[in-house]
């Protein structure tokens, strides 16, 4: 088990929802610790000693340069990462590797806008059932860090239509959703089973 490491917008949103659910059962604070901190040289790193590749720093962090603000907490109200004193008493989120990839079903009528994606990577279209569509996305091989991160499905449109979205950006379809009547969008999540929320005050 380890302190939380957030690497995509999709993962950040998932933890926000988890944190807010924890508040509903008794925690009054919007902030939870994540595993990001400054080391002795002032370099911001995760607790596994890796450098962040995706960040969501609060704009307040620009001017909050007090010496003792060396640890970061997720503000679940605004979705940002705030600098804090490491001795602050906040809830925290830990993670462990359990389960496997699954799909988050987005609201009915939402799809992934593929205009920019078509230029960058790839969309594959097939006429297969929803179950086959999702299984195909799960089982596609990762090639040069490009893999299937979302599947959209429209039933009974001259046979079922399935679109598979291939990209290096795991949260591409989260950031590029659009309205498509009759379409169901499923976004692959490979972290949904690994978070544990601890409320400590």
The answer to whether the beta carbons of residues 152 and 184 sit under 8 Å apart is: yes
pLDDT for res 136: 93
Digit-coded pLDDT (tens) for 109-162: 888 988 878 777 889 988 999 999 999 998 888 788 788 999 999 987 677 899
DSSP three-state, residue 107: coil
Q: How many CB atoms lie within 10 A of CB 143?
A: 8
Average pLDDT over residues 27-44: 82
- Report the C-alpha gap between 170 and 54 in whole angstroms: 11
What does the pLDDT look like over 67-113, one tens digit per residue?
578 899 999 888 999 988 888 888 877 776 666 788 889 888 888 98
pLDDT at residue 168 tops 60: yes
Mean of all residue pLDDT scores within the chain: 82
- Is residue 13 helix, strand or coil? helix
What pLDDT is attached to residue 185? 94
Comparing 165 with 31, which gets the higher pLDDT? Answer: 165
**β-bridge partners, 197:** 93
Structure tokens at 39: 């080391």
Calculate the alpha carbon distances from 145 to 95, 140, 141, 170, 183 in Å.
23, 12, 10, 10, 27
Domain ranges of the chain: 2-95, 130-195
Compute the distance between CA of residue 199 and CA of residue 154 in angstroms, rounded to an integer.
Answer: 41
* Confidence (pLDDT) at 191: 66
Q: Which pLDDT score, from 0 to 100, does residue 184 have?
A: 92
In this predicted structure, what is the pLDDT of residue 25? 47
SS3 104: strand
Per the CB < 8 A criterion, the answer to whether 114 and 150 are in contact is no
Q: What are the pLDDT digits (tens) for 11-34?
A: 888 888 877 776 654 455 678 889
Say which CATH superfamily domain 2-95 falls into: Mannose-Binding Protein A, subunit A (3.10.100.10)
pLDDT exceeds cutoff 50 at 201: no
| Predicted pLDDT of residue 192 | 56
Q: What is the pLDDT of residue 13?
A: 85
Question: Beta-carbon neighbour count of residue 14 at 10 Å?
Answer: 17
């Amino acid at each position: 088990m380890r302190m939380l490491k957030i690497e995509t917008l999709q993962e950040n949103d998932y933890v926000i929802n988890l944190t807010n659910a924890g508040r509903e059962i008794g925690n009054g604070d919007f902030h939870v610790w994540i595993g990001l901190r400054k080391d002795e040289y002032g370099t911001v790193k995760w607790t596994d000693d890796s450098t962040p590749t995706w960040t969501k720093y609060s704009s307040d962090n620009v001017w909050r340069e007090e010496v003792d603000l060396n640890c970061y907490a997720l503000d679940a109200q605004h979705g940002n990462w705030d600098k804090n004193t490491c001795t602050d008493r906040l809830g925290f989120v830990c993670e462990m590797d359990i389960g496997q990839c699954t799909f988050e079903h987005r609201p009915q009528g939402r799809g992934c806008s593929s205009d920019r994606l078509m230029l960058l990577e790839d969309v594959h279209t097939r006429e297969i059932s929803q179950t086959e569509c999702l299984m195909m996305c799960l089982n596609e091989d990762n090639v040069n860090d490009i893999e299937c991160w979302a599947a959209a499905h429209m039933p009974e449109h001259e046979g079922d239509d399935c679109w598979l979205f291939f990209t290096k950006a795991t949260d591409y379809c989260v950031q590029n959703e659009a309205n498509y009547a009759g379409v169901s969008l499923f976004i692959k999540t490979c972290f949904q089973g690994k978070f544990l929320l601890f409320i400590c005050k």
